[in-house]
Structure 1
């Protein structure tokens, strides 16, 4: 098939927030320990204990924001156990009952953010913590003077850090609290009063309230009705599955029907954003309150032979297609969705990076983020996603350049697209494709470059028309000067 897209009027439809390409790292499996943190005395090259190869890779994709420390883990996390020279270990009841050393804590997290150039997003402990504990934490991070600032200086960091986002609780409708939306709304109204910026030179903290369990539209209605005036964002979590929750399917060796079922699940993101947006608009018609999709991605069975609670899964060209499709959905709803954080950055779920001792590889999903980074803070011209169409795309403009990203979700059919611009086009300055012949093609430590970006030349420019031919299961990004 050939799809025709006419953007000759070049109407701007909003701005693509750079935060749509955020990351999420939780204390889970080897996501932090071994994945990000190896310690200052490790033989693995590191910067203050943080893996240099991981830092370099994350800098390359321009990570805009990093959510931490959870997730589920955040609701058993007590930050004072993770500062100073002597740290109190924690039994991680959230994920596998492993012993959490607390070697990676607040100071290390902000060091990581500074090294990769990302803004900070803390999820505070609402379920088992206290308001006093939270306010001490915020003071420790942002206060230029005072007792917590003195404690921070004693621990090696004199100046306050910049704190951009704070999430008040995580999935409080589930095992984090089993709360009703009415109870959570009242609790949120109380806690958010004390989410304060202690540094007068910094902007107020962006406050994110706990949003619904996937399609719990009543939760969104109640929380927005009771507390919308006290929040800047409302969270939403949605993971792609190949079947039921307890029949997720595997990352590799899957049947063709599992490609289709995972794609169907991923595309539900479009529906969820639309429907929750309608409920939000009842109380906030101008969308001052933004939707924050701070957990998303493919959640499949753990790799055979690994701890099920560590959620380590391979990452294939299928995951790359799902990631591109989801990013195009976020672009479609750019007027509402301000931030999205894929789960998770290293070694967990749909990760950017896999590590094994001193080895590191980049996943197919990493390369999607590498292509899509050019859309960060660009003007949106058009974005498209539809359940019945194998093609979805984002077209934006930034610094006098068009950025065109197109995904062919078909597992076995090529598809073409023709885009009509308002004037004659120049030659692309960037043209890359991600493609693999096998449905479950992936990178391994024996073959780390099996799926990677390649130069893309299968296009034609005829005056104002850009004609692109896409192989099955492929993603293309092109940058064309105005």
Structure 2
């Protein structure tokens, strides 16, 4: 019997809803075909946005959507994407497949998508190949409600009122595709550029996101923060609201990566081991942030995360299209539990990417659409959004044949909603073993339990021929005890229990 303890009286931190955010880049079929089909498409749409995709995303309560990149952001010039669609400038997408980008999805279309989703906005600005004036004028175009050249241009293009920009990234991956910069150089550029990302509305603060590190590049974090905080008074620390972190799970390494569907038990545990590594990354980068920001006013923004495999055979390698199995569901469940546990520091995260790219929650093929196993994880985890993380612990053991790639058999996180409902999410990383769980819930008399689960064999996936092979099912195997609850979590599963 495995023992777990939940203390709903020990509230630790608020789980920001933005932790359940997503990422949409002009990459492959993410925007075009995946989200945006144009007003004249035979596929049902509202103002060009696919109705089936929008409805599916609304169900999982997408809280925030990052756009337009990614690497694309630092070659994107926003004025190419406004005005009459047929007159917009075409460009070559040099980062992703060398295809023609016609800019038919631009600023106005992005805000229309966010309006339909009811989500917050996170725009990534161009520091790599753009100018300060260009970035400053984009902010003015989007948010200024007075008389100015940019606000007048916005009105001319059909939108009289300003939009709300919730988050704004000052460049992307500037250590690589965003300019191959050294950390001190980037940090000084960040200080300069962010100065001109103005809050035109005194009641609305645009949260400025600084480009953080890839994976375990702790030197980048140290040097960027040292430079940003140098010669800066306490009052000026507000120029940074978040510091990003990017981390991808490459099962077989960054060059080979590995298949998304054909893998053995060793690769299963290797992949999950690398997902668990997110905990160490957050702790170590977080410790550096604590030196400069002990009060945790600056959020860690994990705005690119997920699995990255070799693209599907027969597809454009630059489109990064991959299938999604129960292995990805476990990666998502593990990672979201980690984010919840670190919600005192992690304030936003964005899965890469939302449709048809990498660890997507939705795949499309013409008029067809399927929800991936990862989608269903976001569906059953959505109740953590803006809830209070509470103290929980569980007995675990290491599993997996090879010691180097062993993982804990179970992960969990627990939150309490404003109405007092307890939400427990748990993953069972074992391919073949179920576990009996005896749970003590401190100072609570549980009267009802409602459960839902995602479970299948490790290679299970949804296809356009079998779109509901992996889905959410009711979980009825819970017993209320004098001290709490008891249940058995099946092998290879992601579980959500609602306790009242």
Partners of 2:89 and 2:482 in 1: CA distance: 66
Partners of 1:204 and 1:340 in 2: CA distance: 19
1:419–1:99 CA distance, 2 compared to 1 (3 A): same
SS in 2 for 1:273: helix
Q: How does 1:126-165 map to 2 (within 5 A)?
A: 126-145=127-146, 146-165=148-167
Matching residue of 1:53: 52
Matching residue of 1:261: 270
1:203–1:463 CA distance, 2 compared to 1 (3 A): same
Is 1:64 the counterpart of 2:73? The answer is: no
Partners of 1:183 and 1:314 in 2: CA distance: 39
Between stretches 329-338 and 417-426, larger displacement belongs to 417-426
TM-score normalised by the chain length of structure 2: 0.93
Is 1:419 the counterpart of 2:420? The answer is: no
Is the 2:13–2:344 contact (alpha carbons within 8 Å) kept by the matching residues of 1?
Answer: yes
Unaligned runs of 5+ in 1: none
Q: How does 1:15-164 map to 2 (within 5 A)?
A: 15-85=14-84, 86-145=87-146, 146-164=148-166
Is the 1:328–1:383 contact (alpha carbons within 8 Å) kept by the matching residues of 2?
Answer: no
Query: Once the 2 structures are TM-superposed, how far is the Cα of residue 334 of structure 1 from its aligned partner?
Result: 0.8
Matching residue of 2:465: 446
Partners of 1:286 and 1:305 in 2: CA distance: 50
Matching residue of 2:416: 397
1:25–1:384 CA distance, 2 compared to 1 (3 A): farther
Is the 2:4–2:392 contact (alpha carbons within 8 Å) kept by the matching residues of 1?
Answer: no
Aligned residue-pair number: 477
User: Of the candidates 264, 271, 294, which is equivalent to residue 285 of structure 1?
Assistant: 294
Query: Once the 2 structures are TM-superposed, how far is the Cα of residue 389 of structure 1 from its aligned partner?
Result: 2.1
CA-based RMSD of the aligned residues comes to 1.3
SS in 2 for 1:238: strand
Partners of 2:434 and 2:102 in 1: CA distance: 50
Partners of 1:329 and 1:55 in 2: CA distance: 28
Partners of 1:257 and 1:6 in 2: CA distance: 31
Is the 1:331–1:383 contact (alpha carbons within 8 Å) kept by the matching residues of 2?
Answer: no
Query: Once the 2 structures are TM-superposed, how far is the Cα of residue 383 of structure 1 from its aligned partner?
Result: 5.6
Between stretches 299-308 and 380-389, larger displacement belongs to 380-389
Query: Once the 2 structures are TM-superposed, how far is the Cα of residue 203 of structure 1 from its aligned partner?
Result: 1.9
Partners of 1:177 and 1:3 in 2: CA distance: 50
Partners of 1:289 and 1:419 in 2: CA distance: 35
Partners of 1:383 and 1:366 in 2: CA distance: 25
Q: How does 1:2-21 map to 2 (within 5 A)?
A: 2-8=1-7, 10-21=9-20
1:43–1:384 CA distance, 2 compared to 1 (3 A): farther
Q: Deviations over 1:258-311 (max 9, x none)?
A: 101101111111001000011111111111111000000000111111111100
Is the 2:5–2:392 contact (alpha carbons within 8 Å) kept by the matching residues of 1?
Answer: no
Q: Deviations over 1:95-126 (max 9, x none)?
A: 01000010000000000001001100000000
Unaligned runs of 5+ in 2: 230-236, 397-405
SS in 1 for 2:142: helix
TM-score normalised by the chain length of structure 1: 0.97
Is the 1:242–1:262 contact (alpha carbons within 8 Å) kept by the matching residues of 2?
Answer: yes
1:388–1:443 CA distance, 2 compared to 1 (3 A): closer
Partners of 1:407 and 1:16 in 2: CA distance: 19
Between stretches 458-467 and 107-116, larger displacement belongs to 458-467
Q: Deviations over 1:422-464 (max 9, x none)?
A: 2220112x4210000x211000000000000000011111133
Partners of 1:25 and 1:415 in 2: CA distance: 37
Partners of 1:45 and 1:238 in 2: CA distance: 35
Partners of 2:425 and 2:177 in 1: CA distance: 38
Q: How does 1:229-240 map to 2 (within 5 A)?
A: 229=237, 230-240=239-249
Is 1:304 the counterpart of 2:303? The answer is: no
Query: Once the 2 structures are TM-superposed, how far is the Cα of residue 93 of structure 1 from its aligned partner?
Result: 0.2
SS in 2 for 1:260: helix
Is the 2:20–2:378 contact (alpha carbons within 8 Å) kept by the matching residues of 1?
Answer: yes
Between stretches 388-397 and 306-315, larger displacement belongs to 388-397
Partners of 2:176 and 2:126 in 1: CA distance: 14
SS in 1 for 2:447: coil
Matching residue of 1:456: 475
Query: Once the 2 structures are TM-superposed, how far is the Cα of residue 14 of structure 1 from its aligned partner?
Result: 1.0
Matching residue of 1:480: 499
Q: Deviations over 1:156-201 (max 9, x none)?
A: 211111110001011111122111111011111101101112233x
Partners of 1:418 and 1:75 in 2: CA distance: 51
Query: Once the 2 structures are TM-superposed, how far is the Cα of residue 255 of structure 1 from its aligned partner?
Result: 1.2
Q: Deviations over 1:306-340 (max 9, x none)?
A: 11110000011110010000000101111100000
Matching residue of 2:490: 471
Is the 2:8–2:391 contact (alpha carbons within 8 Å) kept by the matching residues of 1?
Answer: no
Partners of 2:62 and 2:271 in 1: CA distance: 26
Query: Once the 2 structures are TM-superposed, how far is the Cα of residue 3 of structure 1 from its aligned partner?
Result: 2.4
Query: Once the 2 structures are TM-superposed, how far is the Cα of residue 388 of structure 1 from its aligned partner?
Result: 4.5
Matching residue of 2:399: none
